[in-house]
Structure 1
Amino acid sequence: MRAERFSRSCPATPATSLTTSLTPSLTPSMAALLALALLLALVAMPVRAHAQGTTIGRPFSGDAGNQFEYLQFIVAEDRTLTGAIINNAPRPRRDVEVQVTAIGLESRAPVWSFKQRFSEIPPNGRVEIRAAYGRFTAEPGAFTFKFTEAAAPPPVQAPPPPDAQPGPPVSDGESPTRNFCSAIFSERGEYVLEGTGPCESVAFPLEPGLVRFEVSRKGGDPISVELRDNEKQLVATLATNSTYRNLKASSKINQALRYRLQVTHDGKWTVRVSGTGLRDFGSRPSDDDASPAEPREPQGKRFELTLE
């Protein structure tokens, strides 16, 4: 009963009447002031110009790599792309194709591409590029340059002087007749290789055919000898932990290459090589320029081995 009497004495005010009483009405002068304030705020806001970062009307140059340079490229107001390509190499560039690609200012994706081919660009030469960019193509934010060209011709090697003596080529770190552990000379139409201790011998050329090897050692330790090609691939095993003072072996050579001996031995050793097409390495060095090993001293038993 008490609650019922309270509700009657405090009637609820409609929501619409409360809202109306709290909202002030705008006079014409106040509306004009509000409109002016909004206009001033819009004028003061920074303008996001679509042309910010665009290359329209702005020349650009740079290094394109591989001794190419792009110079004074510009997209004019009539949407024409012009510029120059410079060849900074000291040689002519032949069959050159230049591809220019525009990257969209907003999309950051390719929006336009153009190719032009030049039969030759001389050393430090300049060629011009001119292309229609397109009136309705999106504004460019950047350009990329791609160059392709014909392979450069191999360098021309000067012929050897008339008095040059033919001989085996010289590898890095050794002379034609010796390295740090071995030496080679010619004797009675054979190669003679002499060395001391474990060694990868000086290189020597062999022609296709059957080649004979005679291995001798000085000292009590066994000896192992392998024939390897210029890529260090195994061609033949001439001796494996042999205790013979002297042994003979032969191997069929299939390719005309330069070969080496891989010797495993603690003492002095000698290998004589005989076959067809052997080159002349000169006579045995004098005592003042002696090879690492002493001359061959054949003695003891002989062992014959043929490798096919």
Structure 2
Amino acid sequence: MSKFGTDCLTQITIQPNSTILAGIEACQAAANTTFCYPPNGTRICAPAEDTPFFWPTGYYNNDSRLNLDYEGRPGVLFLRKNTGNGTQDFTPYLYDYKATEIPGVQNEKTIEMYFEERRLNDELDPMNLKTYHGPTLILVKTAEWPTMTSASSRATATAKSPYSSDDDDDDGKPKLHPGAIVGIVLGSIVAAVAIFFLCCRNCCCGAKRTPRPKVDKQKQAHLIDQGRELMEKRGGTTGNGGDKSKAAVSSANVGLVGNDGRSLDDLVRAEEARSAQRRVETADMPHGGVPPPKYTP
């Protein structure tokens, strides 16, 4: 088993104290180097977050922007203002794939930092990107960090245990699984949608139906009275003309109902029967309307 180093600066111990800060201020005031802190050869415990960096602002152009980088040929520039300080994370990825191995030394690698300067007011070269060497640091691996495979295995194992230990008291009792709950919810939604569409269809179809026109009762009674008067005037008329008039009255008033509940056709037929009866009775009587005396042998 490899031995991991411990003689390195952690995220807490790498923060500059008052003595180091005084040296940084003097370096920034002199402005004759590309960087001030951390110095070359600083041993940093990896992985590390927010490792502080300081540089002299006067060494670079006043309106320039800087990119702190570990490759010297960045594909993506994270330009920051020339404030004289910044931070950098040293992740397991940087240690495994970007740092350089030290021959004969285990769990330690070197990584060189760079400054990319961009002057925005240069008219000849709009980019005007210039690279400066920064400090060369030593990353010390203090423990074995999990690989991608082991991390994935742990995540999978955790995902397969949806119930906590508190669920042991409920063993043997029926439980609804997530799939069953989803099925119940979806079924309820489908049923609600179906009921909604059925109601809408019935309402729409009902709205499209043409209501039957209502006939005024007074108008019905008036038409019936007119029919009666017409029949009384033509009650004694014989021949085809009378029949045609009766048929015309009957066909014109089909479906009309009087106040007594009978249709006009029924009233017309009754009136015809009474007229016929009166004609028979009148025909049997002699002139003057007096019936003949009974025959006595």
TM-score range, shorter chain: under 0.3
Choose between structure 1 and 2: higher helix proportion. Answer: 2
Choose between structure 1 and 2: higher strand proportion. Answer: 1
TM-score by length of 2: 0.21
